[in-house]
Structure 1
Amino acid sequence: MNDKQLAARQAASLVEDDMLVGLGTGSTANCFIEELARRSSEEGLRVAVVASSMVSAIKAQQLGLPLQAIEHVQHLDLYVDGADEVTPDLTLLKGRGYDLVREKLLARGCDRFLVLLDRSKLVERIGERYPIPVEVPPFAWPLVKKSLEAVDGHGALRQTANKDGLVVTSHGSLVLNMVFPPALDSNTLDGLLNAKRVATS
């Protein structure tokens, strides 16, 4: 097993019968979904799941996990997801996927949030390897971009992999990939983003 699979197995071992479990999105979350489905099939684990994205929903359905719609959920027992970067003080960057709002809602609506990491995600500062994603309504992206440029951010709308269109989230939003000065510490940056009332992950 690789590090992602080991972390996923450990997280899945904490799931108990009759839990409602939130599923993150990405390669690490996929390992957890697979392990949860294995436990359900081989051990008879009774569990229901809520997905943070269409991709995770499809994977859960394909593996036979009972899926609940997010609009029918008031709280979760557990939410499990990966992260793109993590600093020594455990500040996390997420959002290289497309579903920042749904991921944040599930993370805030759970009794327990587990983040699965491997050594490749360790950084000294947030934004060291990847731009910081900001989810915005399609009608508001120029205003939000201008607002973020006022605090020394720069960036552009995220394009699809083959550069022939823009990324659209399950929520119907666009994603700004923003870069901020390295001297801007995580707490200050978080405060600035929250003050701008934008959705980040």
Structure 2
Amino acid sequence: MSDPVVAAKKDAGIRAANMVEDGMIVGLGTGSTVFFAMERLGERIKTEGLRILGVPTSNQTAMRAEEYGIPLTTLTLHPVLDLAIDGADQVDPKKQMIKGRGAAHLREKVVADAAKQFVVVIDSGKEVTGLDAAVPIEVLPFAYGSVAKKLRELGGEPVMREGVKKDGPVISDNGNYVVDCAFGAIADPAGLEAAINRIPGVLGNGIFAAMTAKTVVIVGGKR
């Protein structure tokens, strides 16, 4: 019997990929649900002759795109994207979300911001009534100590993300540290997102609360 969570992720990914139209420039997020969308896009390229260009948010996504036959481009050549497809770790009823378990949230936010439409693919387990997960924060290594102090002053509990198959901290594709900071229940996601970003040395954080107007959330298994 198939895993219902995997089935939901695949359903969400396929539905998002089917929204892509010929000639589009598409932002490609990072994570298992997005990879189902990329797999479907690869199928459409082969069977329908779909012509698209993708902008990957991580090295892992770029490698997967090459595997699926999706041609890639850059934000330098295409600073405005038609659509971006990405996953999320938590999504609330206002379409505010926390992202970053894959440590690609900084590039993901840049790509989502550049897109006319932001399509978020999730399974129902990612739906929450309020955001309360630890917030991933990308930090300039030089500034780690001062950033951690400022995060504690905001009421957070910062923890350096450690590698699983290597000793030491996780290093993002941009060469920076990733800090996971627990704040408990987040009453004002937009306010906290802005406050974290104001800390010198913070390059970006995983709260996505500023682009809900252009966000479409696809929950796998639901219509």
TM over 0.5: yes
Q: Distance in 1 between matches of 2:24 and 2:165?
A: 39
Partner of residue 189, structure 1: 192
- State percent identity of aligned pairs: 37
Alignment of 1:82-161 (within 5 A): 82-127=87-132, 130-161=133-164
Displacement over 4 Å in runs of 4+: none
Alignment of 1:8 with 2:52, yes or no, is no
Which ranges of structure 2 fall in alignment gaps of 5 or more residues? 1-5, 207-223
Partner of residue 176, structure 1: 179
Partner of residue 44, structure 2: 39
Q: Distance in 2 between matches of 1:107 and 1:13?
A: 18
Q: Distance in 2 between matches of 1:108 and 1:3?
A: 26
**AA aligned opposite 2:146:** L
Going from structure 1 to structure 2, the CA distance change for 1:187 and 1:110 (only over 3 Å counts) comes to closer
Partner of residue 221, structure 2: none
Alignment of 1:77 with 2:82, yes or no, is yes
**AA aligned opposite 1:151:** L
Which ranges of structure 1 fall in alignment gaps of 5 or more residues? none
Note if contact 1:51-1:70 (Cα within 8 Å) is conserved in structure 2.
no
Is the partner of 2:35 in helix, strand or coil? helix
Note if contact 1:22-1:76 (Cα within 8 Å) is conserved in structure 2.
yes
**AA aligned opposite 1:133:** P
Number of residue pairs aligned between Structure 1 and Structure 2: 199
Note if contact 2:103-2:136 (Cα within 8 Å) is conserved in structure 1.
no
What is the deviation of 1:169? 0.7
Higher-RCO chain (CA-CA 8 Å, sequence separation at least 6): 2
Note if contact 1:99-1:171 (Cα within 8 Å) is conserved in structure 2.
no
What is the deviation of 1:155? 2.1
TM-score (norm 1): 0.92
Note if contact 2:9-2:123 (Cα within 8 Å) is conserved in structure 1.
yes
Note if contact 1:21-1:76 (Cα within 8 Å) is conserved in structure 2.
yes
- Output the aligned Cα RMSD: 1.7
Note if contact 1:125-1:185 (Cα within 8 Å) is conserved in structure 2.
no
Going from structure 1 to structure 2, the CA distance change for 1:154 and 1:162 (only over 3 Å counts) comes to same
